Structure 1
Amino acid sequence: MALNLVKLCVGCDSIETLAAWIDFRLEEKRAAGLLPEQFHTTRMVPKRVEELLAGGSLYWVIKGNIQCRQRLLEIRTFTDDEGINRCHLVLEPKIIPTEWQPRRAFQGWRYLNAEDAPLDEAAGKSGRAALPAELRRELAELGLL
C-alpha cells in the first residue's frame, strides 16, 4: 500500500491558485530552456522513499483542509549553496481534487497512510464536488464541511 505526504500549501488560497502557480513556473522554465518539471523543495528528506514512490502522492492543505493531491514521481536529494542538505519532491503537474479533510497547521511535511488519506473528489460520495469553490470555502470556514 502506498505511503503519502501531506504539506501546507503556503501562499495559496484555492486549488485554482495552486494550478495557476504551477502553470506559471512550468512556462517560466520552458522559456529559460530548462526541463519543465514541477518540484517542491524541502529541507527534510523522507526516509521511506521506496514506499512513497510506490504510487504515493503529496496531499496539499489549503486554508485548513486537505483539498487536492499531486502524484510523487521522484525524490532527489541535493546540497544547496550554503551546504545544507535538501530535497526536491518531483511532482506530476496534474492536480487531483480530493474530498476535503480538516487539518491543523504544522511545519514541514508529515507522512499520510493510504487508509487515512481523503478520497479523490471523483470517487467521493458526498456531492461536494458539485458546489462552487467559493461556497465550499465558506462552508468549510463555518465548520459545515
Structure 2
Amino acid sequence: MINLIKLSVGTEGIEDLAAWQQTPRARASDGLPRHVTRMWPKRETEILDGGSIYWVIKGAIQCRQPIVRLDEVIGGDGIRRCAIVLKPGLIPVAASLKRPFQGWRYLKPEDAPIDLDPARASEQPLPAELSVALAEIGVL
C-alpha cells in the first residue's frame, strides 16, 4: 500500500477543504469527492490497496482521505487526466510540516502522520497557523 500527498492550494483550513469538496465541480458523477490531476499514478494498484491522500494545508499535513478509485477524465482540451475519487469526510492527522511542491507525491505509510484520536473528533479544529507552529516545535 502507498499513499499520495497533495497541497490543498488556497485552502485556509480543513473546513475550507471540506466546503470545496461539497461543490459540484469537486464531485464525481456518483457524488463522491474527487481531485483531478494531470498525471496518472504509475503505482495505481498499491494506491487502491488501502491508500489515502494526505492534504497539506498552510505548510502542514493536516488531514487525509481514503482513496476509493481512479477515474479517467478527458478535459475540454482533449487531454487525459486522472480523477482521484475519495471517501467523503476528512480524517484529521497530527500536523506534520511539509515544504511546498508541485503536483502530488507518493507517501510511504511509515512516513505518514498518525490519525488524531477519534475521541477528539468533536473538538473544534485548531487554526492552520497554530497547527503549523505546534508542529514546528514538535508538540503535535
**Could you state the TM-score of these two structures normalised by the residue count of structure 1?**
0.81
Task: Report Cα offsets for 1:5-59 as digits up to 9, x if no partner.
Answer: 0000011110111112223x16x97xxxx53121100000001001001000000
| Higher Rg | 1
Per the alignment, residue 119 of structure 1 pairs with 114
The unaligned stretches of length 5 or more in structure 2 are: none
Q: Structure 1 residue 137 and structure 2 residue 132: aligned?
A: no
Q: How does 1:100-111 map to 2 (within 5 A)?
A: 100-111=95-106
Per the alignment, residue 69 of structure 2 pairs with 74
- Report if the CA contact (8 A) 2:74-2:80 is conserved: yes
Per the alignment, residue 12 of structure 1 pairs with 11
Aligned-partner SS, 1:111: strand
Letter of the aligned partner of 1:133 in structure 2?
L
Task: Report Cα offsets for 1:76-99 as digits up to 9, x if no partner.
Answer: 123322121210000011100001
Aligned-partner SS, 2:9: coil
Q: Structure 1 residue 3 and structure 2 residue 2: aligned?
A: yes
Question: Alignment identity in percent?
Answer: 44
**Could you state the TM-score of these two structures normalised by the residue count of structure 2?**
0.83
